[in-house]
Amino acid sequence: MDYRDVTEFVVVPPVALRTEIWAAKERLADHLRRQFPGYSFRIARLAPVDTGEWFGVYPVMNFVGADNQAFMCNEPPSWLLGEIRMVCNAFDLRKSFAA
């Protein structure tokens, strides 16, 4: 099995913000992509565990390549997960990019 670095994350908002974040999910994902070039983000409604009052950030640790070969990813550094969580917490739901 080949190992690669994680390039994709699933972000789950806290319950209190779930509705508002879901309405702005494309904007949040775009904001995260600009803050963390080279990574992709999907916003999800439900987490595999209770996220409580924090954003849940879950790395996609494996994938199947074009030739049906399974790839397992190296675990991302904990500081990166913390940075993504901080950027999510600082995201301004009221700001609009429409001009």
The reported pTM is 0.83
48-96 confidence digits (pLDDT tens): 666 678 899 999 998 787 788 888 889 999 999 999 999 999 998 887 5
Query: For the purposes of burial, counting CB atoms within 10 Å of the CB of 41, is it exposed (0-12), middle (13-18) or buried (19 or more)?
Result: buried
Q: Where are the domains of the chain?
A: 1-11+72-93
Nearest in space to 59 (alpha carbons), one of 44, 72, 76: 76
Handedness of CA 91, 93, 95, 97 (dihedral sign): positive
Identify the band that residue 27 occupies on the pLDDT scale cut at 50, 70 and 90: very high
